Amino acid sequence: MECCSGRYAEAERQFGPPIASRDLERYLRKGPDAPSRLLLESLREQVRPGDSLLDIGAGVGVLDFELLARGVQTATLVDASPSYLDAAGHEAEVRGLSDRLRRVAGDFTCLAESVESADVVTMHRVVCCYPDHASLLRAARTRARRVLAVSYPRDGWHVRSWLAFQNARRRLSRNAFRTFVHSPAAMDAIVTQAGFSRVRRARTFVWSIDVYVRTAA
């Protein structure tokens, strides 16, 4: 996989075929995990039948399959890991959804202008995998016609300590992939400055989920 900036080429090593297979198998056995269920519930009042969905950092397509089953018409999955997209594509074939699902591989900040806008844009557990979160959020907000939903790690000592431990392990194994805790206030400002209003914030012990609706052009 190539990225136009070169900064995110580590994704396929971190999220290669074994991880993609594991994540898909887990979803098929157990359904969406708790943070995914909470995000889906947070979107329940905002998603309308016939909506289009853009899922940035889509992974194996958990949100996409769930929302397609709830009335979303089409879904575009963008992910820096081709293995994730391959797994999502295979599952789409099994479900007979290939004609309603488009897959795009690469760094979304580099691809945003070539990706069509959607009624609903989701970024689930992807901001934390991205060093330049401001560019990612700015690119995402330009593609959200009505709704933008973002999940990210809570800015607490317990989360920062755990991510620091994970990053140290990767450093020792010469894995360049890193995870980050970004300022919730700074992220909120980036989104609201573009004419969005936050209508929902939900939390688990680790994750925060914010749902925004566009209130101005």
Q: What pLDDT, in 10s, does the model give residues 18-53?
A: 999 999 999 999 999 999 999 999 999 999 999 999
Answer whether residue 201 is part of any domain.
yes
Answer whether residue 6 is part of any domain.
no
pTM: 0.92
92: its two tokens: 């789409």
Domain count, the chain: 1
Q: What is the CATH number of the domain that holds 127?
A: 3.40.50.150
CA distances from 47 to 50, 54, 55, 64, 99 (A): 9, 12, 13, 12, 20
- How much is the pLDDT for 10? 67
Nearest-CA neighbor of 182 among 138, 215, 133? 133
- For 58-89, the pLDDT digits (tens) are 999 999 999 999 999 999 999 999 999 999 99
In degrees, rounded to 5, the angle at the alpha carbon of residue 39 between the alpha carbons of residues 33 and 42 is: 140
Tell me the sheet residues that pair with 151: 209
Answer whether residue 1 is part of any domain.
no
Domain that holds residue 22: 11-214
Please report, rounded to a whole number, the percentage of residues in the chain having pLDDT higher than 90.
78
